[in-house]
Amino acid sequence: MKLFDKIKSFFKRNKVCPKCDAETYGKKFCIKCQEYIMITEEQKNKDIKAKDDLRRRNWIRVRDEFLKEVNGSN
């Protein structure tokens, strides 16, 4: 039943945005809501990349400190 509802909602174009009740011109969300969603998704992707970069940098720092200690104790 859910598949049928998804197909039905795809072909049924709302004239009103479900988020803010503005006109959508046949799309799922209005222009402002689409822009907001796009910007927030882009920000989420940037945050994920920044966290990965921070993990990588931390790994390099820890690795270098460990190697210094091992090489210094010999």
How do residues 57-73 score in pLDDT, each as one tens digit?
999 999 999 999 988 76
pLDDT at 21: 84
Percent of the chain with pLDDT over 90: 51
pLDDT at 11: 67
- Residues sharing a CB contact under 8 Å with residue 33, sequence separation 6 or more, in sequence order: 17, 19, 20, 22
| Single pTM value for the model | 0.61
Q: Residue for token digits 């969603």?
A: 37
Could you state, in order of their start, the residue ranges of all structural domains in the chain? 2-73
Q: How far apart are CA 12 and CA 70, in angstroms?
A: 67
